Amino acid sequence: MTSTRWSRRRARKAVRRSLTRFEVRLRSTCPGIGFTARITATVLTEPPYPNPVEEIAGTVRTTLRNAANEVSKTCDPADLASARDICGQHLARVRRLPTDPPVEFTAELTLDLLPDDRAAVAALLTAQRRQAVTDLLRQQTTNALAAELADPATLLARWIERDNADWAQLPDFAEKVDTVTEVFARHRPEDERSVEHEAVEVLREFLASFPDHAQKRMLYTLLAAGMDSVQRPHHAAKAQALVNGFAAAEPEGAS
């Protein structure tokens, strides 16, 4: 009996020694940049084991390395704290070797970056920030230009300001202004593609379809009345001011 207890104790210690702080190189989401980890496994099953101790320990190490690599490749090396949490929680699960009887084990790990990997992460972040600034400035320039060219008056002004502008061609060009500006107006930034913005475009096109001054005054009068009826006096006052503006702009004798 004493010999059996001694053998079990030796087996337990041998397994523990073989599974304490063994190292592994783990992949990350960034090719060429990886984590370094030290894993310590704890075998929950008491000896005697179905296979030799060396074989049991080797299989446990291989299983845990594969498990750690499976989850680490989804981790961002720039967010080391999150990677530690994710990998730690993954390895803390109880696993079984497909032996008869099965050997159960769990593990914990310490995760870090080697100096070269830390330097690579820093260089990558610097490059990403520089590219983000470049992309943002280019997008802002594009949005500003598109917004400017969506205005027919601005588009005509740009054409007139160019070198050697031929005023004789202006009538032909003017016929194409609405088409060009409509193309630019359709490609607005995402935050300007709401239903409200689309409604403004529909309303603008509707009002523009009535070129006569008297017609416009009537439409704005109806708009002011509608705003007043839904208890929006501030907006109704603004619409009424537009009505008054149309009245002031009408030529004398107009009905």
Number of CB atoms found within 10 A of residue 231's CB: 7
Structure tokens at 1: 């009996």
216-229: pLDDT as tens digits: 888 888 888 888 88
* 237 residue type, one letter: A
232-245: pLDDT as tens digits: 888 888 888 877 77
> Which residue did the predictor score with more confidence, 201 or 101?
101
pTM above 0.85, yes or no: no
For the segment 96-102, the average pLDDT, to the nearest whole number, is 92
pLDDT at 255: 47
CATH code linked to domain 2-113? 3.30.479
Q: Which of 79, 81, 83 is nearest to 26 (CA)?
A: 83
pLDDT at 1: 46
Q: Where are the alpha helices (DSSP H) in the chain?
A: 2-18, 53-72, 80-91, 115-149, 152-161, 170-186, 195-208, 213-229, 233-249
pLDDT at 239: 82
pLDDT at 206: 81
For the segment 108-124, the average pLDDT, to the nearest whole number, is 96
Q: Is 253 left (phi over 0), alpha (psi -120 to 50) or beta?
A: left
Distance between CA 52 and CA 227 in Å, rounded? 87
pLDDT at 150: 77
Q: Which of 35, 100, 34, 96 is nearest to 64 (CA)?
A: 96
Between β-strands 22-27 and 103-112, what pairing exists: parallel, antiparallel or unpaired?
unpaired
CB 56 within 8 A of CB 103: yes
